Each structure stands twice: as C-alpha cells, then as structure tokens.
Structure 1
Amino acid sequence: MSSAQKVVVMPVYEDVEASSRLFLELARTQGPDTYIVAVDDGSVRQPVDVAAIVAAGLDGVVVRLRRNVGHQRAIAIGLSYVADNFGDDVTVVVMDSDGEDTPESITELVAGLSSPDVDVVVGARKSRVESVKFKTFYVVYKTLFSLLSGRNISFGNFMAAKMPAVRRLASMQELWIHVAACVLGSKLRVQSCALDRGPRYAGKSKMNFVGLALHGFRALMVFAEDVLVRVGIACTLVAGMSVVGGITALLLKTLGFATPGWFSLAFGILLLVFLQTAALTLIILMLSGMMRGGGVLSKGSYREFVDEVLHARER
C-alpha cells in the first residue's frame, strides 16, 4: 500500500443513495488511492452493494453485519477490522456516510497528523443549521457533560487518526459505547480542527430526539467513575446539609422557637432528602459497576457481528 493511502471507515444503514454519492465524491476529492471500509449496519431494504465502490473507481470492502448494532458499534467494528488488516503505513478517517461530513474536509484533518505530537485530529463544527430544539439540547448536553465528567466535548465521529492510535482505540471497550468520548478518555494526543458542516446528500436523518438523548447519556457512561465521584460528592454535600438542617430544627424545637407542626414537617422533609441522596449514590454505584463489569470484548470478538466481508477487488 502507498504511504499516502487513506482508509475511510463509515457506518451505513439503509442509505444507499447518499453513500454511493459519497464514494464518488471521495474519489474526486481524495483520489483513487482511497480505500473504503463501509460497515453495513444490518440494512434490510437498502443494503450497501460493493459495486457502488467499484463504480466510483475505488477499492474497499463492505463489512456486512448480522444485525443492526447502532451507529457507534458499527464504527467500532470498522476500526477493529482496520486494526486487524492494515499496517502502520495508512491514515484512517472516520466519517458518516450521508455527506454532512464533507470529503473536502478530509484534507484538513489529515494535514494535522503531519505533526509527530498529534495522534488524532477531530472535526469540530464551525456552525450548525439544526432546529432550535436540537441546538438547545446540544448546549444542555455539553454543559452537563462538562459538569459531570470534568471534560469538554465539542466534536463527533468525524476524525483522522494514525494507525497506532486506531489500534489503541480498538482495544478499548469504551469505543463500543461512544466513539468521541472514547477518544477523550484514551489519553491520545488530540488536535481539533474547525470544519463546516455539509448538506445531507439524500434522504432524512434516522436519528430522532430520543436517540440523540441516548447518545448523550452514553458519552457520560464512558466516564462513569468520574460521574460517580462528582455526583457522590454532590449527594454527600446535600446529605450533610440535611443533617445540619435537622439538627438546627431540633435545636429550634428544644428552645421553643418552632410553631406547632413546623418541626415535624421540616424534619420529615430533611430526612427524606437525606434518604433520597443516599439511595441515589448507591444506585449510581451499582449502575457503574454493571456497566464496567459487562460488555468487555476480547480481541477479535468484533467478528461475531460480521456476516460477510465483500471485497471490491479480488485479492
């Protein structure tokens, strides 16, 4: 393989028209040396055909999955496949297949990898054209993520990485939960690149508001221990304040400053707050343990999800 070859990993789900156009645009903007790894995420009505890659004049594979596993897991499978089948002489790009991650922007992403001090270059949006509802949710999501995890997240799946970084990410179980959050937690040297968002080539996005909310919560799951500590500290402070309030209420009652019925009401509310914060801490602890204890994948286990791998050119 050429030292300049780019391997482009993209999840595709029931989106043949947009992905076929993207293959053509990749050939036009990045050249025929671009290698496609299209992960067909269990499409039934519009499965990706390897002929679309050939028609664009490119080489590549369609990794067809046995079932729909979701956007993030499809990317994880694609990166695991690349880590198993390519050497260090390639650059790996992760992008969506709908055209919103523009092929022209790949050049800017890859250029950032020329520095020996950068492992991953991520694409941050310069501007967004979504609805007010989405923008509001996104601001709330970023604020909560920062408060609960202690980190800032301003990028999605669009990124370029060196092969050693890809192997590192592929070995992390967090990659299967949330790709961007995994990159944040990987300790890799990450550089941000501000990029414009392109229009979708065809069709409509299959991501609804509930899916976006779930996607945001998954990012927090990657940093479950940090979230647990911060929420635990907050719950401890609230519980401590409720204890102080209860003692104060008891003193006021003893000194005769409390009106009839006031002490019982105040003490009952404070006791309820104390019990709720203690229960919340225990629930978060159990959920964190369940999340960390399950779903650990061994090396090569991504193959369990793969139905077949179709090559654009015979090997």
Structure 2
Amino acid sequence: MIPTGVELIVVTPVYEDLEASSRLFRELDAAFGGRLFILAVDDGSVRQPLPGNAFAGLSAHGAVVKLRRNVGHQRAIAIGLGVAADYMTEKQCVVVMDSDGEDLPGTIPPLLAALNDPQVDVAVAQRKSRVETLRFKAFYEVYKRLFAFMTGRAITFGNFMAFSFSAVRRLAAMQELPIHVAAATLASKLRLRVCPLDRGPRYAGQSKMNFVGLALHGFRALMVFAEDVLVRVGLLCVAIAAFSVLGGALAIGLKLAGFATPGWFSVAFGILLLTLLQTGTLALMMLMLTGVVRSGSVTSAAGYKEFIDCVLVSGERVRLNG
C-alpha cells in the first residue's frame, strides 16, 4: 500500500474537518511531493466525511482509513500508527500531526533532522508560542504541574511528533497508546529529542475540544501512569491516615487527662475518624481504577483492525495484511 520510494509517512486524524484537512494535504504535497505518503484516519465523520479521492491532483501518495465509528482523537492516531507499523520499511519515518493546521507542515523538517541522530527515537514538538485563550493557557499550566506531581514526570509536548521505524513498531504494540499518545510515548522509554516549534492558527472552523474534553484528555494522561499515581496517592493517604491516628490518640489522651472541653473530644475525634475512612476509601478507589484501566485498554498492533471499516487508495478499497 505504501510505495517503496516514500520517505515520510504522515498520520493525521480527521473528524468533520474536510476544509482544513484538504488544505493541509495540499501544503504537505507542496512541501514533500512524491516522497510523502499521507495516512488520513477518518474518525467516523458523518457530516463531512473524507472522500476516497481526497488526494486527487496531488503528487503525494495517500490512503483514507475510514473507521466504523467515532473512537476519539487519541485512538484514531493509535490506529493510524498501527497501519503504518504494518506497512512501513526501516528507511521510512512517521510524523503524527493534527489536520486543522495548528501543526504547521513547515515545521516538520526540524523534527526529521532530529531523527538523523542515532541516539534519538522520537522527536517531539514543544510549543514556543500558542494561539490560545488565556483560559486555556492557565489550565495547561495547572495540568503540567499536576501531571508532574502525580507521576514524577514532565510532559511538555502533544501529538506533533516524528518517529523512527523502531519507535513506531514499539508504540504500536503498547496497550496504553489509544489512551493518550504523548503519555504513552513517555511510558515507552524511547529516547526523545525536544524541538521548540511555533504553533499556527486553525485553517478553518473552530476547535471541537471544549473545557470538559480538555480535562478528560489530561486525566487520560494520568491513566497511562496509573500505577505511579496509585503509589503517590497511596503514600499521601498513609501519611494522612497516620496523622489521623496520632491525632485521635492525642484527643483520647487529652480527654482522659481532663483537658478536653465539653463537646471538643467528640467533634475532634469524629473529624479525625472521617479523615481516616476517606483516605482508605480513596486508596481503594485508586486501586480499582488501576485494574479497570489495565483490563480495558485495548488496540494493540494486532487489534486495531476491528475498528476499521475500509481503507481507500485512489478511491479503491484495499485489503489490509492479515
């Protein structure tokens, strides 16, 4: 499906964004021409589905992967990487980017240049400037600090990344990939190179991501490191529980010594007991959440095909390997 002369494979998810994605395809074609293969994952679009001839008139090659339903931005990328892993060769590399124009085609060369270093498996884009609202920037700063506190890791990049052949094969086999692509890249222990790049404005339309969606996206990044979060929350719960037990013992001692005023002991001991019970409940919930995440995360290199309705190359359906 992917010609041997192709040097670069671009994986981009598209959901109800025909105008912006069409412009992206033209700009990518102008920048890379016949050396490029565009793997556009249509994430169950209904109103503006990608046509099978989306790359007509371009010198670049391409395929439209149509999904059976809307699976979400991150899982769509994971499916695209699964397809790429099955068809790419060792001399090819993969770039993941959004289809709305905020990831600029002109900033791809610095990512590819970073991959020329044999000590680099993944080149990630760190934003030097953002065309975002003050509310989004404030939330993003809070999210980065919360992520670092809960996981002990720093995440300063999004989906705009370039991968070597070995990196794509490794990530496609990770069950965490469809949960959060950037966090899964951190968890993969691949060697990263950070490239400061500018972020552009959308080509057309408005972002479909609202505040609730952003919060959920941030929470999914924590889910990838569920065990680390559990340990940190568990240690915090143990510290609070120990404080509660010591405080309760002190309250009982003061009561027996006759230093407690009427009603003080029952209120203080009740608050400490509730704190102890709540920390125990929180630790149990985190343990259950970890089990749910691990048992429910699917889409490995072998399982992504169940989400694909068809793959169109020049308007014609093609069969996937296997």
Indicate conservation of the 8 Å contact 1:173/1:296, yes or no. yes
Summarize deviations over 1:32-64 as a string: whole Å, max 9, x none: 311000000000111112323122322110000
Indicate conservation of the 8 Å contact 2:159/2:181, yes or no. yes
- 3-state SS of the aligned residue for 1:117? coil
Corresponding residue for residue 257 of structure 1: 259
**1:11-50 equivalences in 2 (<5 Å):** 11-50=13-52
Summarize deviations over 1:264-314 as a string: whole Å, max 9, x none: 100000000000001100011011111112233454221111011001387
Task: Give me the CA root mean square deviation.
Answer: 1.4
- Cα distance change on mapping 1:298 and 1:52 into 2, 3 Å: closer
Corresponding residue for residue 295 of structure 1: 297
Summarize deviations over 1:97-119 as a string: whole Å, max 9, x none: 01000000000100000000000
Corresponding residue for residue 219 of structure 2: 217
Paired amino acid for 1:141? Y
Q: C-alpha separation between the residues in 1 aligned to 2:16 and 2:57?
A: 19
Corresponding residue for residue 205 of structure 1: 207
Corresponding residue for residue 228 of structure 2: 226
Corresponding residue for residue 8 of structure 1: 10
Q: C-alpha separation between the residues in 2 aligned to 1:298 and 1:52?
A: 28
- 3-state SS of the aligned residue for 1:38? strand
Q: C-alpha separation between the residues in 1 aligned to 2:16 and 2:51?
A: 11
Indicate conservation of the 8 Å contact 1:120/1:165, yes or no. yes
Q: C-alpha separation between the residues in 1 aligned to 2:126 and 2:287?
A: 33
Q: C-alpha separation between the residues in 2 aligned to 1:4 and 1:194?
A: 26
- 3-state SS of the aligned residue for 2:176? helix
Indicate conservation of the 8 Å contact 1:59/1:313, yes or no. no
**1:152-171 equivalences in 2 (<5 Å):** 152-171=154-173
1:128 Cα offset (Å)? 1.8
Corresponding residue for residue 108 of structure 2: 106
Summarize deviations over 1:216-252 as a string: whole Å, max 9, x none: 0000000000000000000100000011111111111
Corresponding residue for residue 131 of structure 2: 129
**1:174-185 equivalences in 2 (<5 Å):** 174-185=176-187
Q: C-alpha separation between the residues in 2 aligned to 1:295 and 1:219?
A: 13
Paired amino acid for 2:124? V
Match of 2:118 among 116, 128, 137: 116
Paired amino acid for 1:240? A
Match of 1:62 among 64, 71, 91: 64
Poorly superposed stretches of 4+, deviation over 4 Å = 1-4
Q: C-alpha separation between the residues in 2 aligned to 1:74 and 1:232?
A: 33
Indicate conservation of the 8 Å contact 2:6/2:34, yes or no. no
Indicate conservation of the 8 Å contact 2:172/2:300, yes or no. no
Indicate conservation of the 8 Å contact 2:251/2:265, yes or no. yes
Structure 1 spans left out of the alignment, 5+ residues: none
- 3-state SS of the aligned residue for 1:174? coil
1:3 Cα offset (Å)? 6.7
Q: C-alpha separation between the residues in 2 aligned to 1:109 and 1:303?
A: 29
Indicate conservation of the 8 Å contact 1:15/1:98, yes or no. yes
Match of 2:82 among 77, 80, 83: 80
- Between the aligned residues of both structures, percent identity stands at 62
Indicate conservation of the 8 Å contact 1:60/1:313, yes or no. no
Paired amino acid for 1:92? V
Match of 1:186 among 185, 188, 192: 188
Corresponding residue for residue 277 of structure 2: 275
Paired amino acid for 2:174? M
TM-score by length of 1: 0.97
Provide the aligned length of Structure 1 versus Structure 2.
Answer: 315
Corresponding residue for residue 146 of structure 2: 144
Indicate conservation of the 8 Å contact 1:96/1:157, yes or no. yes
Corresponding residue for residue 90 of structure 1: 92
- 3-state SS of the aligned residue for 1:32? helix
